Structure 1
Amino acid sequence: MVWPGFATRFVRYGAVGILCNLLGYGLFLILHFAGLNPVLVSGITYIIMVSVSYLVNRTWAFRSRCSHSRDMPRYLLAYFIGLVAAMGSMHVLIFFMHPALAQIIVIGLAAIIIYVSLEILRFGRSVADNDH
């Protein structure tokens, strides 16, 4: 059985993700073509977009009523897991393809890993929230 609200959270998370990743990808391209290392640029854009996406995901996608002190560590942990996956993936993929193409794959991979982590960590939902 699918958790109540799962589909709604997933669709909203996806919409936030698409917008943030388009902005992040544009920033990645600008910094990469300015001559910066693609792995470093991937990390920089990741950190910027985590900050923006936390605020939008917390208020709109997950509609959290939990405190920032409860939500933020869970969000940061999920995004740290995603960051490790993104940086590792970029490190490997740039041996096989152009960094601009590799970043598109990295974005998709990280998004899936992060969303699953947010659900497992119950981001935006308190213990009292019933998921079953």
Structure 2
Amino acid sequence: MYDRHEVSVKVALYSSDGKRTLLMRHWGDAGFGLPGGHIDAGEMPDAALERELREELGITIDATPADFYVRDPYDTTAKNHKIILGYTATIDGDVELPAQACDGSEEGPVWLTRAEVEATDKLAPGYRDFLLKRWP
């Protein structure tokens, strides 16, 4: 049995030309994640996504709810049941992003092409499937 249900919002951000997606690189070589984060108590999902994107990337976007999924639903060792509400959006590929790690060397935002997303083993399969299924 799970100790609690954790709900997060994540967004697949695609460049307006459809050639790249914006991911968050984790410290070291831990891998990539989608922009977004946890929903605070009493917060609506759309508001949580807006807050997270302001905090992480300094941007405001119009995102479309796309899907939801449960991370590792068959992982019996997990203490938390994680539900992820997925969104999609398109942004200008030249949008000004936070200075840290725009080159992809540290934690922060990094643009990847579809081929790079398909080739990396540093992205959770659920995130990869979500990105590729909705790629413009």
TM-score > 0.5 by shorter chain: no
More strand by share: 2
Larger Rg, first or second structure (1 or 2): 1
Higher helix proportion:
1
* TM-score scaled by length of structure 1: 0.31
